[in-house]
Amino acid sequence: MQFALTGHTLVVLPPDPAPAPGRGPRRRRPRGPYARLFETPGALAFTLPNALARLPMGMFSVSAVLLITTVHGSYALAGAVVAATLGASAAGGPLLARLVDRYGQARVTVPAVLLTGAGQLGLLLCVTGGAPLWAWFCCVPLTAATPNTGGMSRARWAHLYRDAPAARHTANSFEQALDELCFLLGPLLAAGLCTGLAPAAGTLTAVALLVTGGLLFAAQRRTEPPAAPRPAGTARAGRTPLLLPGMPPLLVTFLCTGAVFGSLEVVTIAYADGLGLKGWAGAVLAAQAAGSGAAGLAFGLLPPPGGPVRRRMVRWVGVMAALMTLPLLVAAATGALLPLVPALLIAGMATAPAMVTGMTLLQELTPPARLNEGMSLAVTALLSGIAAGAAAGGWVAEHLPPGAAGYLTPLTAAALAAAVARGAFYSWNPVRKSTAMGPAVAPPEPPSSNSTANARSASPR
């Protein structure tokens, strides 16, 4: 029995209720890493419009290829136009990101999405209106303002969870899965609109999504990382990430990885067209994105693996190169479209882990005050690779016999990515970046034939 003293009176307290027979105390089920990720106020509010603005990145290239080949019948011309627009985005990306770091995401995103939409609409009018080729390429410079919405979202996660490495690992995995989802749904949506509604419908929808999502994302100021304005009387706000040791080979790896994506799009569309199934090209391409997205989500559920992130990246890029042989072998053996779906699904399963570990390494090498610029450099390298891969894929589709030969292009690009990553990072020990607003601490130079012993004797990360 339990007693309590109330004033001058001793009272008997009722006994605690006994638990139901056969039942112990109810325990709360532990939340998963993705549920914990979105518990931060404002996280979901910026993620949803960012996903809306990111979806067109999987639509513009496929829409342009389908539009130009339908109206003009030339894969080489379509590849050249896609390469030009992606090249413009790659060239303008670092400058745009530097402005984002200096003035904030919202102030830069709004004019950027409006300029990009104007450039895409101008190009659409030129293609459908019979304008000369030089007029087409006059619209291309406006697409240099294409905002790196994925990089800005990753920068927000890095700011929100700057002291939680496990949460950043989950966030990077989620962002990569979201990228793959956009490249899964984007080609499907673009192909369906262009072939089922009108050749111009894919581009028009992509512009509408980019502008709407971009403006809504810019309105989410609660989670926006603080701007880092240039200090008065100084010419620069720290060392550019491009010059940091380790960054050039990492960007070359991203460049080759982008070439895998760009060439895979064009050669798959050409392969499907050769079989008389061009309208199904988007669905086939979605298989590769589905495999990568599923792998990315699963990767985020796991705790951050041990060991240096650089070696994990080398391993995953190597697996990506090995699996990229599957589309070539299946297309050569079957000459059909349906067997290509599982081949691309499996081939895509190494893409997300390779990108997640690459982005994690980039965040370790880049100082916080220049993180948007560092992210943009990675996207610039990817877009440049996609542009080069699209141009190479278009040339192959135009000049080589139809069939499986086109899949040599993404396989070659993946093999180059694996070779660069292993040669630059496997025996190199980079140093963690500084947490201050200044530049990162310079790690030792990547090993060469004369410096391998010094690199091996360096203290581990």
- What is the reported pTM? 0.64
Q: Is the dihedral of CA 330, 331, 334, 339 positive or negative?
A: positive
State yes or no: pLDDT of 438 exceeds 50: no
Q: In this predicted model, what pLDDT tens digit does every residue of 379-407 receive, in sequence order?
A: 778 877 887 888 788 888 777 776 777 88
For tokens 């028009």, what's the residue? Answer: 204
**DSSP bridge pairs for 9:** 6
Cα–Cα nearest to 206, from 232, 234, 186, 236: 186
Q: How far is CA 332 from CA 168, 234, 267, 273, 325, in A?
A: 41, 59, 13, 16, 11
pLDDT of 147 strictly over 80 = yes
Give CA–CA dist 34/297, Å, rounded: 9
Tell me what pLDDT residue 445 has.
37
pLDDT at 233 over 50: no
Cα dihedral 252, 434, 445, 460 sign? negative
| DSSP assignment string, 183-208 | HHHHHHHHHHHHHHT-TTHHHHHHHH
Top pLDDT among 403 and 2 is at 403
- CA 16, CA 72: separation in Å to the nearest integer? 81
pLDDT-derived band at 211, boundaries 50, 70, 90: very high
pLDDT level of residue 121 (50, 70, 90 thresholds): very high
**Per-residue pLDDT at 94:** 76
- Tell me the pLDDT tens digit for each residue of 308-343: 778 888 888 899 999 999 988 988 888 888 888 898
Residue 204 banded pLDDT, cuts 50, 70, 90 = very high
Q: Which range among 57-71, 75-89, 224-238, 442-456 shows the weakest confidence by mean pLDDT?
A: 442-456
452 confidence band (pLDDT: 50, 70, 90): very low
DSSP at 240: -
End-to-end CA separation in angstroms for the chain: 61
Q: 15: Cβ–Cβ under 8 A, 6 or more apart, which residues?
A: 1, 2
pLDDT digits (tens, 9 = 90+) for 270-321: 888 888 887 787 778 778 777 877 877 777 777 666 667 788 888 888 999 9
pLDDT score of 20: 53
432 CB contacts (<8 Å, ≥6 apart)?
364, 441, 461
The answer, yes or no, to whether residue 426 has pLDDT greater than 50, is yes
Q: What is the mean pLDDT of residues 250-276?
A: 86
Let me know: does 46 contact 157? Beta carbons within 8 Å.
no
pLDDT score for 235: 43
Q: Between 145 and 444, whose confidence is greater? A: 145
The pLDDT value given to residue 195: 83
> Among 174, 173, 189, which Cα is nearest to 57's?
189
Q: Are strands 2-6 and 9-13 parallel, antiparallel or unpaired?
A: antiparallel
Largest CA distance in the chain: 102
Would the pLDDT of 17 be above 50? yes
Q: Give the lowest-confidence range in 219-233, 345-359, 393-407.
A: 219-233
More confident site: 207 or 286: 207
Q: Which residue has the higher pLDDT, 379 or 429?
A: 379
User: What is the rounded CA–CA span in Å between residue 142 and residue 123?
Assistant: 10
The per-residue DSSP string of 325-382 comes to: HHHHHHHHHH--STTHHHHHHHHGGGHHHHHHHHHHHHHHHS-GGGHHHHHHHHHHHH
Distance separating alpha carbons of residues 430 and 69, to the nearest angstrom: 46
Structural tokens at position 53? 């603005």
pLDDT at 416: 92
Residue 456 — pLDDT band, cuts 50, 70, 90?
very low
Enter the tokens of residue 250.
Answer: 């990492």
- pLDDT higher at 438 or 224: 224
pLDDT computed for residue 87 by the predictor: 77
| Mean pLDDT of the chain, nearest integer | 77
CB contact at 8 A, 362 and 375? yes
Write the single-letter amino acid at 132. P
Bridge partners of residue 6, in order along the sequence: 9
